[in-house]
Chain A
């Protein structure tokens, strides 16, 4: 079974631009979560989508948004990029959301975004 895939793997943008990142979950997984990883702030939860609905949202400005399609693939968008948005963006998939057995999440390799 293929793992979580993220495209593109690397991206360079300039301040003020917008960017869209894509995540394809493991086949059969319906939950996709996004995380931002930076040296200063560590790993921070952005949002989770389940069955095309945003389930949870982290403490990020409205410039960060996302969506999920009927095939469970997810995209996240960052508008009006700032230098501080430079980070590794990780997505993770899981079978369900909030499952009582604490299903683990499987992470993709990430998209490294550099904002100049």
Chain B
């Protein structure tokens, strides 16, 4: 069974400092990996995805993520956090097998609080 872990319920960071949100996964095969962000009373917004190739993936709003196959991790990073980055972040995996469709398995989410 697929599982995704986000070990930190909350991450606090000062504005301008680097931000890291951790994600590890336990799945069979090589899944697609995603990061989504959710603002209050909103749906999820796509940030970035890893399909193949370069282990460093760049996404929206200055976010990037580093894929590490040996550690089965896909940590989200931003070099300089903004107060507006305060939100709930979700890591998700999707099976590469076409028959599995678009089912996403999500981590529990990490709340990011960026203080001015």
Contacts and interface: CB of A to CB of B under 8 A. Distances in A.
Contacts of A109: 41-43
B43 A108 contact: yes
A82 B115 CA distance: 39
Nearest to A110: B43
Given A104-B46, A104-B49, A107-B44, A94 B108 contact: no
Contacts of A42: 106-109
B106 A105 contact: no
B101 to A, nearest CB: 4
Contacts of B41: 109
Interface string B81-108: 0000000001010101111111111111
B10 interface: no
A24 interface: no
Contact of B100 (A43, A56, A107): A56
A87 to B, nearest CB: 14
Interface of B: 32, 34, 36, 41-46, 49, 51, 90, 92, 94, 96-109
